[in-house]
């Protein structure tokens, strides 16, 4: 039988609120079994850009990443955010090790092909090195990934944290009984975006398609859920989209994805 | 018999010159046996500070590190410099993994006690976790350390890269037949600071004391050499202070330290 592994992805809304982050890291540390944390940090990167006189350039919620922007996101994600999260986890007894996708060649990607939009130094994931990540887990480390990958030719690439979570979960599903939790600002996928209590408790891939067609699920939720279903369809045992309140009770409530 | 381990420390002059850095990373990759790289990056941090309207504050070559400065050095050292070095190493076949002292609790320090000067968030090293670092080496990773440590209470601390190199080497000497190479802008310790060819080929601890007393060795070389002798006196097999030309020939010429 495979050992259990929980992969938790947290977004910028958690990271930008220190008391919330501290609470989430405590809850993460209490999770039993092997664990991996993945974090975003876009809002902090945008703030630093503005501080340096640069204007963030977003298209459909995705960041156009020129060379100066790549440098800033690398500094923010892999530098100050990742290392402070690791230091906080170490302080509460979790043997965290902070990684980008370049470290241990964990996540290899390619620069996004230019179609209508040139996203610049943005990476689309080719391969997650489950073997190397498993070695770290077996050695007793808890990997903490930021949203930077590399192309194995020396180029770092800005990469969507939800995409990292889904692809990483799928890769780890070969080695562990893997649970993926995508934690965001709502308590789950909502049937009514204006009603935070309208959490859909479970959703099948067919229902997701229907909700997408009818417009119930839209905008940023679509790529998030597509990634999450990819994970479920590729060897991940359980996938949840949920808020921090669920995590705090150590129950993975929210929206459960079903095949 | 213990396996060989080479620990190479490179300074800011190498990091700030991309063609030189590329060359040094190639030479590092070619070194046989297990390897650890340690890098500084102070000049780049100072440049970013100025870009953000802050003035670097140095006392005797050591950086006064207030909260804003700590954030910047963490971004520069652990973020953009460390991850770009790792990506470059990965591109040439070295399975690098970039670390701060917080990662895997590798290097624990305490905030420097205030005496005449308050250095702020500067760390003095208490303990290097040779066991955790050995696990990474045995698993096939090549650790690349930046000059940030932590106090295991959640606080990151700016830490001198030469000190990290010396203490790390001493800790690893218990597990490996360890060689420490401190690589800097000169070809070795000079008997005449104005003559770059006056490299002292070998120097004993007693000779170091004499040179210090007579003023032949002064300023920044003193703490560097004190750390290097600490390593030699604490289980490190060989210690060299040298320039990149020695590395490129794969011979560790320069100044060899002797007991």
What is the DSSP track for chain B? Answer: -PPEEEEEEE-HHHHTSHHHHHHHHHHHHHS-SEEEEEE--HHHHHHHHHHTT----EETTEE-B-HHHHHHHIIIIIIIIHHHHHHHHHHTT--EEEE-TTGGG-EEEEEPPPSSS--BSBEEEEEE-HHHHHHHHHTT-EEEE-SEEE-SSS-EEE--HHHHHHHHHHHHTTTSEEEEEEE-SSSS-BSSTT-TT-B-SEEEHHHHHHHHHHTSS-TTHHHHHHHHHHHHHTT-SEEEEE-HHHHHTT---SEEEE-
Cα distances from B84 to residues A19, A102, B89, in angstroms, run 31, 9, 9
Please, are residues A201 and A226 in contact by the beta-carbon 8 Å criterion? no
- Contact B91/A153, CB-based, under 8 Å? yes
Chain center to CA of A231: 12
pLDDT on residue A203: 97
Q: For Cα atoms B220, B223, B224, give the angle at the middle one, nearest 5 degrees.
A: 80
Is residue B39 situated within a structural domain?
yes
**Paired tokens of A256:** 């459960």
pLDDT confidence bin for B252, thresholds 50/70/90: low
Chain A neighbors of B86, CB-CB under 8 A: 100, 102-103, 150
Cβ neighbours for B20, distance < 8 A, ≥ 6 positions apart: B13, B14, B244
Tally Cβ neighbours within 10 Å of residue B120.
Answer: 19
Q: Which residues of A touch B (CB under 8 A)?
A: 51-52, 71, 74-80, 82-84, 86-88, 90-91, 95-100, 102-105, 132, 135-136, 139-141, 148, 150, 152-156
Is residue B254 situated within a structural domain?
no
Report pLDDT digits (tens) over B180-212.
Answer: 999 998 899 999 889 999 999 999 999 999 999
Q: Which of A190, A185, A242, A144 is nearest to A12 (CA)?
A: A185
- Contact A76/B79, CB-based, under 8 Å? yes
Is residue B245 situated within a structural domain?
no
Is B251 a residue whose pLDDT tops 80? no
pLDDT on residue A251: 62
- Contact B78/A82, CB-based, under 8 Å? yes
Please, are residues B183 and B9 in contact by the beta-carbon 8 Å criterion? yes
Tally Cβ neighbours within 10 Å of residue B153.
Answer: 13
Chain center to CA of B149: 13
- Contact B87/A154, CB-based, under 8 Å? yes
Is residue B252 situated within a structural domain?
no
pLDDT on residue B60: 78
Cα distances from A36 to residues A108, A234, B29, in angstroms, run 18, 18, 29
Mean pLDDT of chain B: 94
Domains: count for chain B: 1
- Alpha carbons A37 and B132: distance in angstroms, whole number: 20
Q: What is the mean pLDDT of residues B6-25?
A: 93
Cβ neighbours for A100, distance < 8 A, ≥ 6 positions apart: A74, A77, A78, A82, A106, A107, A145, A146, A148, A149, A150, A156, B83, B86, B98
CATH number at residue B181: 3.40.1160.10
Domain that holds residue B142: 4-186
Q: Beta-strand (E) ranges in chain A?
A: 4-10, 34-39, 58-59, 62-63, 96-99, 107-111, 123-128, 142-145, 148-150, 156-158, 177-183, 202-204, 238-242, 255-258
Chain B neighbors of A99, CB-CB under 8 A: 97-98
Residue of A nearest to B157 (CA): A87
Chain B neighbors of A71, CB-CB under 8 A: 80
pLDDT on residue A253: 81
Q: Are strands A4-10 and A142-145 parallel, antiparallel or unpaired?
A: unpaired
Mean pLDDT by 10 residues, chain A (259 residues): 94 90 96 96 93 90 93 98 98 98 98 96 98 97 98 98 98 98 92 90 96 89 94 97 81 85
pLDDT on residue B164: 98
What strands, in cross-sheet order, belong to the sheet with A156-158? A123-128, A107-111, A148-150, A156-158
- Quick one: CA dihedral B45, B48, B50, B55, positive or negative? negative
- Contact B80/A77, CB-based, under 8 Å? no
User: What is the enclosing helix (H) or strand (E) of A209?
Assistant: helix A205-214
Q: Are strands B255-258 and B148-150 parallel, antiparallel or unpaired?
A: unpaired
ipTM of predicted complex? 0.96
- Quick one: CA dihedral B141, B227, B88, B101, positive or negative? positive
* pTM, full prediction: 0.97
SS3 per residue for A28-45: HHHCCCEEEEEECCHHHH
pLDDT on residue A244: 86
Which segment of A100-109, B21-30, B210-219 scores lowest on mean pLDDT?
A: B210-219
């Amino acid at each position: 039988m495979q050992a259990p592994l929980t992969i938790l992805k947290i977004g910028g809304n958690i990271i930008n609120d220190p008391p919330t982050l501290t609470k989430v890291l405590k809850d993460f540390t209490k999770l039993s079994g092997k664990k991996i944390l993945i974090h975003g940090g876009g809002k902090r990167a945008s703030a630093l850009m503005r501080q340096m006189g640069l204007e963030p350039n977003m298209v459909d919620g995705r960041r156009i990443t020129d060379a100066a922007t790549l440098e800033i996101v690398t500094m923010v994600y892999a530098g100050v955010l990742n290392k402070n999260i690791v230091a906080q986890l170490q302080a509460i007894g979790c043997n965290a090790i902070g990684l980008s996708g370049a470290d241990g060649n964990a996540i290899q990607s390619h620069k996004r092909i230019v179609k209508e939009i040139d996203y610049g130094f943005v990476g689309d994931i080719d391969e997650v090195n489950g073997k190397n990540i498993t070695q770290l887990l077996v050695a007793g480390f808890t990997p903490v990934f930021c949203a930077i990958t590399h192309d194995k030719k020396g180029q770092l690439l800005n990469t969507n944290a939800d995409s990292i979570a889904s692809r990483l979960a799928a890769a780890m599903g070969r080695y562990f009984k893997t649970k993926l939790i995508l934690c965001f600002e709502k308590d789950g996928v909502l049937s009514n975006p204006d009603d935070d209590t309208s959490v859909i408790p479970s959703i099948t891939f067919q229902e997701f398609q229907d909700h997408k067609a009818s417009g119930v699920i839209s905008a940023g939720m679509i790529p998030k859920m597509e990634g999450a279903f990819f994970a479920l369809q590729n060897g991940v045992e359980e996938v949840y989209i949920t808020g921090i309140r669920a995590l705090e009770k150590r129950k993975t409530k929210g929206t459960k994805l079903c095949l």
